[in-house]
Amino acid sequence: MLEHFEEELENLKTNLIKMASLVDDQVNRVVTALETDNLELCKGVKAKDLEVDAYDNLVQTQCENILALFHPVAVDLRYIMSALMINNQLERCGDIAVNIGQRVKKAGSYKDLIFESQIVEMGRTAKEMLRNSIDSFIHSNSELARKVIDTDEVVDKFNKNIFKFLVSKMQTNPELIEPCAHLIVLIRHMERLADHATNIAEDLIFYTDARIITHQKKLANREKEGD
């Protein structure tokens, strides 16, 4: 029974890693397309999302079966719970990659505007966050997970500054209203991508350290405001 349980856990981890690899490739393609204006890279991203969705269903089914058959406790139970949560985050990242690709195709020809706004730097940072969060899960590396969580503030700052920049451009040059509108939606997707990477890192820490740190910073700030 124990050997069968360990095999099921290993199969679950393997499928999550395969799913994460697909999502990582999706995100890498659309961010590189943004950097290089090579819109061909966006092709196939939506098709890969169907594969990601299939893994989403598979992983969820595997987790449900393990819970029903083996009744795991302690660290094993935390692993299954974190796997379910990470699975959901990865599926959302796949959707976001598709959305980013759509916006890149609509506004990708405005290269000067894109580079001046620092959207490329924001995209690179969000992509690295996702990759690091995936690596933190694969290697059970809580230190790397905390690095991802700390980097989320960098993406939030990019988001705020780029939004102000794009609004200013729209106010001074009406011809840029449409591309800037697409880019505002684009940075919103990137900000959400970073949020999901942060969530994966938090789920990993829940597994490795048996600590729930989700919303910790927001709750701490609320307590300070109440003082």
pLDDT digits (tens, 9 = 90+) for 21-67: 999 999 999 999 999 999 999 999 999 999 999 999 999 999 999 99
* CATH annotation of 2-219: 1.20.58.220
pLDDT digits (tens, 9 = 90+) for 152-180: 999 999 999 999 999 999 999 999 999 99
Q: Does this model's pTM top 0.85?
A: yes
Helix %, strand %, coil % of the chain (to 5)? 90, 0, 10
Give the SS3 label for residue 113.
helix
Domain ranges of the chain: 2-219
Distances (CA, A) of 173 to 65, 118, 177: 57, 19, 7
pLDDT digits (tens, 9 = 90+) for 80-129: 999 999 999 999 999 999 999 999 999 988 999 999 999 999 999 999 99
**C-alpha 102: how far from chain center:** 17
* Summary mean pLDDT of the chain: 94
pLDDT digits (tens, 9 = 90+) for 139-151: 999 999 999 999 9
Q: What is the DSSP letter of 175?
A: G
pLDDT digits (tens, 9 = 90+) for 203-223: 999 999 999 988 666 655 565
- With a CB cutoff of 8 Å and minimum separation 6, the contacts of 28 are 127
pLDDT over 70 (residue 227): no
Q: Give the separation between CA 163 and CA 169, rounded to whole angstroms.
A: 10
Q: Give the separation between CA 217 and CA 152, rounded to whole angstroms.
A: 12
Q: Give the separation between CA 209 and CA 188, rounded to whole angstroms.
A: 31
